[in-house]
Amino acid sequence: MEEDLQVAMENGASVWVIGDVHGHFKTLESLVRSLRLGEGDAVVMLGDLIDRGPGSAHTVDYVRTARNIHTIRGNHEQMMIDGFDDGAFFKNLDIDARIWYHNGGIDTEKSYIRFYGDEGAALEGAGRDRRWMEGLPTEIVLDDWRMVHGGYDQNHDVDDEVQEDVHLYARKQFYTAKKAIDPERSILFGHTVTFEHLHKDESKAGLIWESDVRLDDGRPMAIGMDTCVYHDLDLPRVLSAFNLQTREVVYQDRV
């Protein structure tokens, strides 16, 4: 995947990076349509395709089957991996199932039943999707860019393999860094809602965040992409896309 994306970049194609969808399939579909993808263009999702919104099953099916859309694993995919046992959504509520249930898994269960039409088919489809999620990478590294769901620990080498869990869950140990975590690459990440934790300013709801720490080439150390399409506050609900080739940002209000 990394080789294909890097070659696409070198050939002048656009590679768009999209933040956390959380089951808002119609919004994702509208955003991708507005990108007007050409031959050779690609999309990279930053994980958290599922939970909270009404269309998790549809979102996973769309991303899993699209030729030009790739994704990394988010912490909500990890919760489904841990909380779904191929035979039941929430019949046997062990600790992993309860964690997933209370973090949007109940909405994902409903979406699978709606998408597949009955519980048996839904269980089969969810089991297949869970196995697919297990094989997803937790980061994508190109010549000039990194893509990760949560982030990295500023106290460890960015390429340290023990960081896989950090890739999914990192917050402050990542975005509070005072020097570049990867001096050669700008890092695009999701997971942390930009207006609440990064901008710390509700007037910037729906906008991506850029770190004040800069690389030698002037690019930000990190770019936060979770503009929070799922919240129910009286603020913009937005899904965002960033073009690695041109650095253009496209915003899509929740459909």
> What is the rounded average pLDDT of the residues 126-153?
97
Least confident of 42-51, 88-97, 177-186, 243-252: 88-97
pLDDT at res. 87 = 81
Return the number of other C-beta atoms located less than 10 Å from residue 107's C-beta. 19
pLDDT at res. 161 = 67
* Segments forming the whole domain that contains residue 96: 2-253
DSSP tag of 234: S
Gap between the Cα atoms of 221 and 223, Å rounded: 7
CB-neighbour burial class of residue 99 (10 A; exposed 0-12, middle 13-18, buried 19+): middle
Tell me the pLDDT of the chain averaged across its residues: 96
pLDDT at res. 210 = 98
> What is the rounded average pLDDT of the residues 120-134?
97
pLDDT tens sequence across 231-240: 999 999 999 9
pLDDT band at 23 (very low <50, low <70, confident <90, very high): very high
DSSP tag of 150: S
> What is the rounded average pLDDT of the residues 60-72?
97
In this predicted structure, the answer to whether residue 85 has a pLDDT above a threshold of 90 is: no
In this predicted structure, the answer to whether residue 28 has a pLDDT above a threshold of 90 is: yes
H-helix or E-strand spanning residue 195 = none
Of 85 and 2, the structure prediction assigns the larger pLDDT to: 2
Question: pLDDT over 70 for what percent of the chain?
Answer: 100
Structure tokens at 129: 């999707």
CB 249 within 8 A of CB 241: yes
CATH of the domain at 130: 3.60.21.10
pLDDT tens sequence across 141-178: 999 999 999 999 999 999 886 778 899 999 999 999 99
In this predicted structure, the answer to whether residue 91 has a pLDDT above a threshold of 90 is: no
Instruction: Please give the tally of structural domains in the chain.
Output: 1
